[in-house]
Amino acid sequence: MPELPEVEVVRAGLAPAVTGALVTGVEVLDQRSLKRHDPASGDFERGLVGARLAAAVRRGKFLWLPILPAKSAQSAQPAAPSATSTPRALVAHLGMSGQVLLRTPDHPGGDAHARIRIHLEHEAHDELRVDFVDQRIFGSMAIDRMTPTPDGRPAGFSADVTGEWAGFVPGQVAHIARDPLDPAFDERAFLAAFAKRHSAVKRVLLDQTLVSGIGNIYADESLWAVRLHGEQPASSVSSRRARELLAAVRGVLQKALAEGGTSFDAQYVNVNGASGYFAHSLNAYGREGKACPRCGTLMVREPFMNRSSHRCPRCQRLR
DNA sequence: ATACACGCCTGCTGGC
DNA sequence: TGCCAGCAGGCGTGTA
């Protein structure tokens, strides 16, 4: 269930460990985790070993580590001609159950669901291992070519936006909209598209090509906050209410981020394996049969888009 | 273009 | 006790 706050917690934890680090080894334990790796980008392992990582960047639920061009590769493998000209990144998506864990190189394996291991060397800290663990394999890692962003702004969130990689976005992320916490998020464009959609408002919130980073949990929380029924057609929501909804989305995401994300079990954890606390702050998601924190009415769970929606039948009515 | 159903995956839970 | 359907659900693909 990693959504924007959970992925951001992972990004922030990863950044100091990977920025400037040299990849010294890669182990692919399960090829299925490379399903989004385009073989045309070259072999996954060979594309990483010997490469230096520049940063940890996030847009919505996508995470990527730009690869610095290897000028004088220490390895005997000369870079392919295209590899020197096209900026690339290691792209990760956590899917439903993905985790990125930082460990010491001698950490006993053990996890049944470890799929990829990346060994790092760094001038400023000891050697590290990045373990990609993913029970359900909805997530993936890939090396991807990057292209300049159409607006020239930084492609996603990271601490440093001065690197030459900042204005480049991985191909598989290019169609994903900026997220609502991104300073370059185009609010007017989103609200205009929102007003034209006849789909259910919750479906629009979950459409990553319009606004990214929102999943089932934060969609339900945001809709509860502004008393909207998820089945309400977006086009029937007034522009004022739409702006309130967007503000609620931002508020919910920021609060969850401040609390380290939402953890139900050991499924979502940060890079050190620790859980977040936002599950205690949920007002709607997973609260069927419990009292609405606002009016006391018993919350309901309803099927929606092959998943579940949680709402208060009194506060959130279809109009 | 928008809209939406479906498949991918594994592990846990509840009903019979 | 054992088996199987149902559920968790983000995203790419395919169809209308």
What span, in angstroms and rounded, lies between the C-alpha atoms of A306 and A20? 42
Which DSSP category does A78 fall into? P
Answer CATH for A187-311 from 1.20.910.10, 3.90.1200.10, 1.10.8.50, 3.40.190.10: 1.10.8.50
Compute the C-alpha angle A94/A122/A140, nearest 5°. Answer: 15
Give the pLDDT confidence of A109-121 residue by residue, as tens digits: 778 899 999 999 9
Straight-line distance from CA A296 to C1' C12, in Å?
40
User: Is the CB atom of residue A192 positioned under 7 angstroms from any atom of strand B?
Assistant: no
The distance (Å) linking the CA of A19 with the C1' of B4 is: 41
Contact flag, residue A172 CB and nucleic strand C, below 7 A: yes
Please name the residues in contact with A247: beta carbons below 8 A apart, sequence gap of 6 or more.
none
Answer whether any strand B atom is within 7 A of the Cβ of A113. yes
**Residues of A classed as catalytic:** 2-3, 61, 307
From the CA of A61 to the C1' of B12: give the distance in Å: 25
pLDDT at A210: 96
Does the CB of A306 fall within 7 Å of any strand B atom?
A: yes
Which stretches in chain A have pLDDT values below 70? 1, 70-84
Residue A296 CA to residue A242 CA, distance in Å, equals 25
CA distance A303 to A198: 19
Q: Which nucleotide is nearest to A193 (CA to C1')?
A: B2
Domain boundaries, chain A: 4-173, 187-311
Q: Which nucleotide is nearest to A303 (CA to C1')?
A: C7
Give the bases of strand C that a protein CB approaches within 7 Å.
7-12
- Cα–Cα distance between A233 and A199 in angstroms, integer? 5
Note the CATH architecture for domain A4-173: Alpha-Beta Barrel (3.20)
Hunting for tokens 């790796």 — which residue is that? Answer: A37
Per-residue confidence (pLDDT) for residue A12, from 0 to 100: 95
- Nucleic acid strand B within 7 Å of A175 CB: no
Q: Can you give the pLDDT at residue A83?
A: 47
Residue type, A8: E
Q: Within 13 Å of residue A151, how many CA atoms lie on the same side as its CB?
A: 11
Residue (of A26, A61, A269) closest to A143 by Cα position: A26
* Å between CA of A289 and C1' of C3: 30
Q: Which nucleotide, over all strands, has the C1' atom closest to the CA of A137?
A: B9
Q: Is the CB of A236 under 7 A from strand B?
A: no
What pLDDT was estimated at residue A84? Answer: 56
Nearest Cα to Cα of residue A158 among A253, A70, A63 = A63
Query: In which element (H, E) is residue A143 found?
Result: strand A140-148
Say whether the CB atom of A199 is under 7 angstroms from strand B.
yes
Q: Which nucleotides of B are covered by protein (CB under 7 A)?
A: 2-11
Distance in Å from B12's C1' to A172's CA comes to: 32
A210 CB neighbours strand B below 7 A: no
Is nucleic acid strand B under 7 Å from A135's C-beta? yes
- CA A132 → C1' C3, Å? 33
